[in-house]
Amino acid sequence: MGTRYEELAEAITLRIREGQLRPGEKLPSVRQACQNTHLSPSTVFQAYYLLESRGLIEARPRSGYYVCAQRAVQTGVQGPAAVAQGSTEVSVSELVFDVLRSTRNAEVVPLGSAFPSPTLFPLDKLARSGARAMRHLAPAALTAELTAGNDRLRHALRARYARHGITLNAEEPVITNGAMEALNLCLQAVTRPGDVVAVESPTFYAALQALERLHLRAVEVPTDPQLGMDPDGLAEVIARHRPAACWIMPSFQNPLGALMPTSRRQAIVEMLTAEGVPIIEDDVYGELFHGATRPHPLKAFDREGLVLHCSSFSKCLAPGYRIGWAAAGRHTSTVLRLKMMGSLGAPVPSQLALADYMEQGGLDSHLRRLRLQLAQHMGMMRRWVLRHFPPGTTVSDPQGGYFLWVVLPAGTDTLRLHQRALEHGISLAPGPLFSADHRFRHALRLNAGHPDDGRVARAIETLAALI
């Protein structure tokens, strides 16, 4: 159960989605809402602010709050596709490289980037933490903690897991070079070349790249834009394909932004555990919730050590530091051996800087500010898209993270749009990036994690004109 303002916001959201509150219709005044609900003015204001950040309502000066007029041009996005009939050999890397190259140019508006703006992170404080920690570092410690990682950082991470009732074993977590190394190591630990891996549809393109590198085949599971991977679709995939693993992002899934409900998380963990299928949990956006509480990771429901939980600081605190980790359950020793044979260890200065920063108590206050900023940026971009893009456009409505999934009218080619947008100094992530068989050609992902300096709003208007 959420807080009172969240409950009120959800009740109003339901009325909007069911058409009881129409686009352009005025909401009750704060005084009227207090009388109707027996809630305090501050609670009603918080609910209205939350709805405004989600792009559902808008404040009009000296008039009150109204349902966004563009809500008619869509409240949701397309539901999940049918279960794939066969597994697919993966080949997406060239398209990914093409898109990522465009995001490195500082002159390009980075709507196709996978990272939020670096201006949102406490880089000066991290630098001071790093300098302080390195001054007190014993020389022997530079090599003593290879391969598992720095003990101070691992202790701090274990404490955060404990908040969700998760007790890690003595070898966990393994510190890695970003979440991608953690995910790759976990995938390699539980599969062999030629195996089938169940993935979301659409899914994060780096998951497809990992499968491509390890010569694995993908089978795509229908994924709801609001609720995440479909349990019935997953059951059908298990029966038909017997996957060696399932790669899943339950919290603010990239690219949809879907947040899987608790009951669905439990059902999926129980289903895969009963079948003995390891679960690779990509949880890099879990700390970026816009509501009151962090969603419990799948790892919280794991009783058999089959959930290999992976995350990093790259999206929530320290991009470029390249520090991630894996809590790999029964597969931890295998992950450690694979890391020793590969990169051997993660950078010591980065680990020490992050450990010191967490010990100083700065992480949670930073995350609270970051979540608020991302919620505001996302709500603003969502309103711009709904206002400017053509009728028939649908836009996701995430409750965390910083990605919007936009489905354009049928016949639109986002690969062509991507090339045209680059000519105007704008990057985007076209839909075919997120599927092993290059589906979703009329969809795209937009990054709402960059403060608007005037360029972002103009870029949205330019994209609308190009579409």
> Which domains occur in the chain, in start order?
4-73 (1.10.10.10), 88-120+368-466 (3.90.1150.10), 123-363 (3.40.640.10)
Buried (b) or exposed (e) across 434-452, using 16+ Cβ within 10 A?
A: bbbbbbbbbbbbbbbbbee
Backbone conformation region of residue 13, classed left if phi is above 0, alpha if psi is from -120 to 50, else beta: alpha
CB 193 within 8 A of CB 215: yes
Backbone φ/ψ region at 228: left (φ over 0), alpha (ψ -120 to 50), beta: left
Helix (H, G, I), strand (E, B) or coil at 219: strand
Q: Which of 154, 116, 180 is nearest to 372 (CA)?
A: 116
Pair 415, 432: CB distance under 8 Å: yes
Q: Give pLDDT, residue 17.
A: 75
Distance from the Cα of residue 389 to its chain's centroid: 24
Q: Are 310 and 183 in contact (CB under 8 A)?
A: yes
Which residues are CB-contacts of 141 (< 8 A; sequence separation ≥ 6)?
Answer: 348
Q: What is the pLDDT of residue 19?
A: 78
Q: Measure the CA dihedral 303/307/308/314, to 10°.
A: -110
| Intervals of the chain under pLDDT 70 | 1-3, 53-55, 61-62, 69-93, 95, 98-100, 102-104
pLDDT of 411? 86
214, 188 contact by CB (below 8 A): yes
- Cα–Cα distance for residue pair 76/457, rounded to 1 Å: 22
Residue 385 confidence (pLDDT) = 96
> Which residue type sits at 198?
A
User: CA-to-CA distance for 27 and 52, rounded, in angstroms?
Assistant: 12
pLDDT at 57: 84
Strands (E), 217-314: 217-224, 228-229, 245-248, 279-282, 307-312
Other CB atoms within 10 A of residue 74 CB: 19
**Which residues lie below 8 Å from residue 301, measured CB to CB, with a gap of 6+?**
265, 266, 269, 270, 307
Q: What is the DSSP string of 281-294?
A: EE-TTTT-BSSSSP
Q: Name the phi and psi angles at 394, rounded to 5.
A: -120, 145
Strand partners, 404: 446
Q: Tell me the two tokens of residue 436.
A: 């092993």
Give CA–CA dist 95/359, Å, rounded.
Answer: 41
Quickly tell me which residue has 């992480």 as its tokens: 363
Residue 355: what residue type? A
Could you tell me which residues come within 8 angstroms of residue 296 by beta carbon, excluding any fewer than 6 positions away? 164, 262, 265
Distance CA 257, CA 418 (A): 21
pTM for the full predicted model: 0.81
